[in-house]
Every structure is written in C-alpha cells, then in structure tokens.
C-alpha cells in the first residue's frame, strides 16, 4: 500500500505539459483497461502510475480506468475484447497472445534468454519491436513490454530438483501451446487453468503445483498452499500492454497517440525498477511464511528441452521455421 501511494505522488509531482486546465469527467476520453492480477501486484502499480501520468499530461482529457483481478475476463478473453474493439486496453502475458500472433510463442520457449540483460536487449531491440508490430495485423497495437521475471515450479508436496521429480504431477500452465509443450517435455502433465481459479484448484488437488515468478506466488497467496519453490527459472516470458487498434485509430488524435506511447514507455521503465524491488520483497515474505526455496542445478532441465529447440530449427512447417529463426536471432544478440 505504501508503494502504491508513493507511485501516485510521484506521478503528481511530474510537471503537466501542454496548454489548458483539467477537463471535467464528462468531457474526458475514458479508456477501460483490464488485467488478471491483484491490486497489490507491482504490474498493477505500474498501470496506476501510467493512468495517473496520462491524466495529468493530458490535463484530464484522457482517463484510464483499470479493472484488475480478471473482472473483465481471463487474459485470452480480454485479448479477444481488445481485438474486437470492446475493450480499449489490457495487460497480458505474451503466452496466451500466441494464439493470436503465433510468433509470440518464441517468448515461451524455455531457456532462450541468458540473463536479464540479454532479455531486455532482445525486448528493446529489433526482435521485440518486430513482434509488437506483428500485433497490428490482428487489430491490436502492442504498446510496451513489462517485466515478468523468471518462472519456476512451486509445488505442494515435494520440491522439483530434477526433471524426473515432475513425473506423474499435474502442473498448472497458461493457455499456451508452447507452455504446455514445455511442461510436458520436462516431464509433467500440463493443466491450463485460469489464474483466478488456481488457488482453489491447488487447495482441492486439481493440480499438484504451478509455475510462476516470485511476485505472483506472493500476491496470489499460493504460498499458503505450496511450500516448495524450486528456482529452475525455465522461462522468462514478458508481459505486454495492448490497445485496441480501433481505439488507437478512431478515439485518439495523433498528438494523443504520441502522449500515450511516451507515457506507457515511462511506465515500463518504472515497472522494471519496481519489479526488482518487489521480487526481493516477495522472496523474503514467502520464506517467512514457511516456503522452502530450492536452487536446483539447471543443467538437466536445459538438456531436457534441447529437443524443443532443435525441432524448431529442423521443422519444415513455415510457422515453426519462423520461430526457429527468431530463436537464432535472440541467441545472436550480444
């Protein structure tokens, strides 16, 4: 809560640009934005920061109303609403987005990023920009990426120290074919479940565990059920902020488009810093609550998924071949 108030105060402290005073609410353009995470998640805080900046930089001409906690549907459902012009904005993982923009699947391929520096060089570079641009063919505008850290396994009954430990286990995954293939390749049974339904599914034994980053483990309170967190860090799947192309083209002037893009970019830089802080805090808090954190040797996990990489390189399928080319380009980024 303290962080959220600091965010709003920071936004208010930034000088207002442009002529004129704030507009009345009835005169403002109100944009609805949905996401699946709780209000105390650092990604939600970054969106609050974005909304505050857009409001003050536009002198109240543009307001962003944020709907967290899957109030407007699952990530896939919100992407569909953005695509259809029903919803103005959403934040989603790039994993479910691969059903709309197939090339996005490259971000869900395990162990393609060497470290965080490599990750951000890729996202800020030609590959990241190219994949954002690909959204436009589906009536979606990709505005920016948000940090989503590394995903690792958390489980109820035992730690995952080697791939063989996953045998016979049901692991929740996102609605992404690549994520399901990855979990199955490592050795578990992938089970897609909506994020908002996962706590109950863990409690009731529908699944034996899940995989996600530390802030999501903490803010979801899944640590109350899963006491083993094994940092194999198999994927680094970015989040992405999306806008309906209909909203972008029909509701916003070129000046407003520029203002929103600049503000979203500023919120990304803020979110990256906030993510690092919140990740450290989350790890401390889940361990205080009794979660045991393990650091397994990643070598066996990397070896297990090598076949996934090779299949992309050798495939004659145009899409698979395209993803293989993207993997090579990502690996070549210095």
The domain segmentation of the chain, as residue ranges, is 2-148+238-281, 151-236+291-316
- The whole-number pLDDT of residue 10 equals 54
Q: Kindly report the CA angle at 174 between 172 and 334, in degrees rounded to 5?
A: 115
- What ranges in the chain are assigned the alpha helix state H? 2-13, 42-57, 75-83, 94-97, 116-124, 126-134, 177-186, 198-203, 214-219, 245-246, 254-288, 299-304, 306-314, 318-332
12-38 mean pLDDT: 67
In whole angstroms, how large is the CA radius of gyration of the chain? 20
Whole-angstrom Cα distance, residue 47 to residue 149?
17
Cα→Cα distances 56→2, 10, 52, 258, 322, Å:
21, 12, 6, 15, 42
- The whole-number pLDDT of residue 1 equals 45
pLDDT digits (tens, 9 = 90+) for 163-182: 999 999 999 999 889 999 99
- Res 122 pLDDT > 50: yes
Check residues 7 and 20 and name the one with the higher pLDDT.
7
Q: Is 242 helix (H, G, I), strand (E, B) or coil?
A: strand
With CA atoms as reference, report the closest residue to 307 among 111, 74, 86. Answer: 111
Whole-angstrom Cα distance, residue 90 to residue 201?
25
Whole-angstrom Cα distance, residue 22 to residue 169?
55
Interacting residues of 314 by C-beta distance below 8 A, sequence separation 6+ = 324
For the whole model, what pTM was predicted?
A: 0.89
User: Is 151-236+291-316 in CATH node 3.30.450.20?
Assistant: no
- The whole-number pLDDT of residue 25 equals 55
Whole-angstrom Cα distance, residue 132 to residue 7?
27
> What is the distance, to the nearest Å, from the Cα of residue 324 to the centroid of all Cα atoms in its chain?
22
How does residue 300 score in pLDDT terms, banded at 50, 70 and 90?
Answer: very high
Whole-angstrom Cα distance, residue 266 to residue 150?
22
pLDDT digits (tens, 9 = 90+) for 47-89: 999 999 999 999 999 999 999 999 999 999 999 999 999 999 9
36-42 mean pLDDT: 91
How does residue 243 score in pLDDT terms, banded at 50, 70 and 90?
Answer: very high
* CATH class of the domain comprising 2-148+238-281: alpha beta
Whole-angstrom Cα distance, residue 49 to residue 268?
10
Whole-angstrom Cα distance, residue 235 to residue 113?
8
- The whole-number pLDDT of residue 256 equals 97
> What is the distance, to the nearest Å, from the Cα of residue 53 to the centroid of all Cα atoms in its chain?
21
Confirm whether 2-148+238-281 and 151-236+291-316 share one CATH topology: yes
With CA atoms as reference, report the closest residue to 250 among 133, 141, 166. Answer: 141
């Amino acid at each position: 809560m303290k962080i959220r108030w600091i965010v709003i105060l920071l936004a208010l402290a930034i000088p207002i640009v442009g002529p004129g005073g704030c507009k009345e609410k009835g005169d403002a353009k109100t944009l609805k934005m949905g996401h699946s995470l709780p209000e105390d998640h650092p990604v939600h805080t970054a969106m609050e920061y974005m909304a505050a900046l857009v409001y003050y930089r536009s002198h109240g001409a543009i307001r962003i109303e944020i709907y967290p906690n899957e109030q407007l549907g699952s990530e896939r459902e919100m992407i569909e609403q953005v695509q259809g012009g029903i919803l103005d904005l959403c934040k989603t993982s790039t994993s479910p987005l691969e059903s709309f923009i197939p090339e996005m699947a490259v971000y869900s391929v395990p162990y393609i990023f060497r470290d965080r520096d490599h990750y951000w060089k890729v996202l800020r570079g030609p590959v990241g920009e190219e994949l954002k641009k690909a959204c436009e063919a589906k009536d979606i505008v990709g505005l920016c990426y948000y940090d989503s850290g590394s995903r690792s396994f958390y489980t109820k009954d035992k730690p995952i120290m080697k791939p063989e430990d996953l045998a016979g286990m049901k692991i929740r995954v996102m609605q992404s074919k690549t994520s399901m293939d990855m979990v199955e390749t490592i050795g578990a049974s992938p089970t897609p479940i909506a994020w908002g339904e996962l706590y109950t599914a863990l409690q009731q034994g529908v699944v034996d565990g899940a995989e996600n980053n530390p802030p999501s483990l903490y803010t979801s309170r899944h640590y109350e059920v899963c006491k083993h967190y094994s940092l194999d860090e198999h994927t680094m799947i970015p989040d992405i902020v999306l806008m309906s192309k209909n909203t972008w083209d029909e509701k916003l002037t070129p000046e407003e488009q520029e203002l929103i893009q600049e503000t979203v970019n500023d919120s990304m830089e803020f979110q990256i810093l906030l993510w690092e802080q919140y990740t450290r805090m989350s790890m401390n808090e889940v361990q205080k609550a009794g979660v045991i954190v393990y650091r397994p040797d990643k070598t066996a996990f990397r070896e297990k998924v090598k076949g996934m990489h090779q299949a992309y390189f050798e495939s004659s399928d145009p899409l698979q071949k395209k993803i293989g080319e993207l993997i090579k380009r990502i690996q070549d980024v210095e």
